Structure 1
């Protein structure tokens, strides 16, 4: 994120003495991407941000995956993962169920209403889509309110915790890289350009620091390690509260973007998926399909044409509305479809004729396209309907 922000109290010059009212020095922490060569922010702590007094193993939920083999498209019914659960006993970090993943990105789903532990993902940025519900994310930069339809983008290694206000359904996209607006929407200096479907006014960062106090604070840290998934967890106990920041400034911070602020790009004939892109990471992109007017050529076919994404797997999470191209497939709100690379996919045959003459689509979906094959996590394997692959033909051998 390259839009500069400042919050709280900071000195006029970086890396100079900055003292409390009692005369003690504040402690600077530079959070920066790509070493010292990309976006960063400078935070001023009351305590020492490196001071830990304990370290233990955090036994992570199951992060192993299995190949989509033999190759086939799949329909995953995510609501079934939490149909029998009490959301009051589940939080939005430790309650995540891994649905799909590869070496670049992991997609998880969670339904809960309990406060999460303090948490830090040291592997990559997180982009969490709020399917429904609202609450607050407390972070080392300050508090972020969130609501239905928000993307909550949290930079790598940001200490935070989720405080839902009631039940929240969340779709977590955990990257092994950074997540940012598409480069084609940005000027060479990082400003969102006129043809971008959103602008800086739509991005909401923490307005002020939290300045919390406390001792012996535990933080769950997800980080690189050995094992089948290459991901392990530790619990670090900090001498002073990580949220003791009195001020910060820079271009790296968590923020929210609501899908209702995405301005769809339309045309006379069907527009390809890149016009729906909202974010990108290393070897994957995130798109959203929002309610919009559709193609207005007199002979236009509004639903997508059949296509082979020869370089990518396509994951669609159906959030709300009536998804025209999937009518007759069994897909409903809360479903995921997986269309793998090497397989040509498109609308259900009956949906093509039914779409002719339609002027608008009332649909909301979040799509992730990956450029390495996706494998099934335990949550994906548990919710596969087993019949979606044969829905275009209407039969199976």
Structure 2
């Protein structure tokens, strides 16, 4: 994220002495991407950021996946993963359930009501969509208030925790990359400014307003990192609280972007999915379908045409409104559809005819398109309705 910010107390020149009120030195930390060759920020700590007093293994939520075989489209009822009561005791980190994943991206879902442990994902950036509820995301950079409809983008290795606010369940759709997540390059100038044709701009991105200073001793932080099988975990104990940054500046930091601030791009005939793109990462993109006026050619067909995912798997999370193309399939709010590469898909039977003459779609969905096949996680296997693949024909195996 090449949009520069500064917060708190920093020296006038980088890599120079920054003194405490009593004459001691603050400890400067460079947090940067791609070694020293991409976006970074400088953080000034009260204590030594690398000081730990203990390290023990920690087992993250089940990371195992199984292939989507036979190759079929699937409907995953995420609401079935956290039925009834009991969600209040869960937290946004340790009770996540993996829905889909491959070597580039992992998609999880969680419903929770308790504050999470301090956590750091050292594998890749996280992009978390807030389906409902609210939280304060406390980070080493400061606090991010998060509300319904927010994407919360957390750079790799950002120490943070989720603290739910209010009585409503916090429902989070978690997209974890094995890389960095950023606005699409085609919307950025060569110096990183969002361009005039972009569907959002820097004013829509909200970073921490001020530093967060917390006292504490022997503080635990859960770290997710690479290891045998791809994912492993370590529990560190720090002699002092890691939220000890008095100031920072740079172009790498966590931020929120609300889906209501995405300005949809429309046309006389149906527009392809890239116009809905909001973020990109290595081997996958994130798009959102928001309430919008639809195609205005007198003979237009507003719902999508049938298409073959030649190079990608398509994952759609339905999180608001009424998604026209999926009516009659059993899909509703809180559902995920998986349309795998190698299988053509499109509107449900009757959806094309019903859409003719429509002027507005009241729908809200988050889409992830991957460029390598997705496998089913524990949550995905549990939530699969087992019938979606046959909804276009009305017949199942053996019928």
Pair in the same fold by TM > 0.5? yes
- TM value normalised by structure 1: 0.99
Q: Does the 8 Å CA contact 1:7/1:207 hold for their aligned counterparts?
A: yes
Gaps (5+ residues) in structure 2? none
Residue 84 of structure 1, CA deviation: 3.6
Is the Cα–Cα contact under 8 Å of residues 219 and 236 in structure 1 kept in the other structure? yes
1:346 corresponds in structure 2 to 346
> Aligned equivalents of 1:111 and 1:145: distance in 2?
18
- Once the two structures are TM-superposed, the CA of residue 211 in structure 1 deviates from its matched residue by 1.7
Aligned to 1:362: 362
Encode CA deviations 1:311-368: one digit per residue, 9 max, x unaligned. 0000000001111000111101000000000000000121000000000000000000
CA distance in 2 between counterparts of 1:85 and 1:193 reads 46
Match of 2:176 among 153, 165, 174: 174
TM-score by length of 2: 0.98
| Aligned equivalent of 1:26 | 26
Tell me the residue number matched to 1:122: 122
CA shift at 1:215, angstroms?
A: 1.3
Q: Tell me how far 1:85 sits from its aligned partner.
A: 4.3
Secondary structure of 1:349's aligned partner:
coil
Match of 1:239 in 2: 239
Question: What CA distance in whole angstroms lies between the structure 2 residues aligned with 1:240 and 1:257?
Answer: 32
Distance 1:278 1:323 in 2: 19
CA distance in 2, matches of 1:298, 1:349: 22
> What residue in structure 1 maps to residue 70 of structure 2?
70
User: 1:21, CA displacement in angstroms?
Assistant: 0.5
SS at 2:270 equivalent: coil
Q: State how far apart, in whole Å, the 2-side matches of 1:214 and 1:89 are.
A: 24
Q: Which residue of 2 aligns with 1:10?
A: 10
User: Counterpart in 1 of 2:295?
Assistant: 295
Question: Is this contact kept in 2: 1:291–1:364, CA < 8 A?
Answer: yes
Could you say which residue in structure 2 is the equivalent of 1:100?
A: 100
Aligned equivalents of 2:29, 2:18: Cα separation in 1: 13
Q: Distance in 1 between matches of 2:85 and 2:111?
A: 9
User: Match of 1:14, SS?
Assistant: coil
1:249-264 alignment to 2 at 5 Å? 249-264=249-264
Distance 1:154 1:44 in 2: 19
SS at match of 1:204: coil
Residues 288-318 of structure 1 show CA distances to partners (whole Å, capped at 9, x for unaligned) of 0000000000000000000011000000000
Aligned residue number for residue 203 of structure 2: 201
SS in 2 for 1:80: helix
* 1:11-160 superposed matches below 5 A: 11-160=11-160
CA-CA distance at 1:173 after TM superposition:
0.2
Specify every segment of 5 or more residues in structure 1 that has no aligned partner in the other structure, as ranges. Answer: none
2: CA distance, partners of 1:244 / 1:396: 59
> Are 1:183 and 2:151 counterparts?
no
Structure 1 runs, 4 residues or longer, greater than 2 Å off:
none
2:226 aligned with 1:215: no
- SS across alignment from 1:49: coil
1:48/1:240 contact within 8 Å kept: no
Instruction: Supply the RMSD in Å over aligned alpha carbons.
Output: 0.6
